[in-house]
Amino acid sequence: MDGKFVFRLKRDQHGNPVRWKARFVVKGYSVIYGIDYNKTTAPTMRMETFRTVAHIAAVNSWVLHQVDIKTAFLQGVLEPGEEVYMKQPKGFEVKGSEEQIWELQKGLYGLPQGS
């Protein structure tokens, strides 16, 4: 599996450039179900569940808080026994070992197993 760096210029509410955002994305579109991966999951809450929790919080005068984790994909550990390999990124090859591949320990953007 191969990957590339994606750079995007982030802007504020007035359209002024604020900072560059960079991330490494693997080409997950090239993987084949049943060969490269077997299942994908993305834990999400059903709307009915959220409404129930919000109702219980309102009845009991509880305060609800929302959390957004910016690096969720970078913290996703692959399941035990799951092996994902990728080529070394261009410009980051280890000298003398340019033909070797890396075994990923965590999910990256673009992997079906990433989330």
Residue 26 has a CB neighbour count (10 Å cut-off) of: 22
Residue matched to tokens 């092996």: 83
Q: What size, in residues, is the chain?
A: 115
Strand positions, DSSP E, the chain: 3-11, 17-26, 85-87, 101-103
pLDDT at 36: 56
Domain ranges for the chain, please list them: 3-103
pTM listed for this prediction: 0.55
Per-residue pLDDT tens over the stretch 42-60: 667 789 998 999 999 999 9
Per-residue pLDDT tens over the stretch 32-41: 666 555 666 6
Q: Where are the alpha helices (DSSP H) in 1-115?
A: 47-59, 72-75
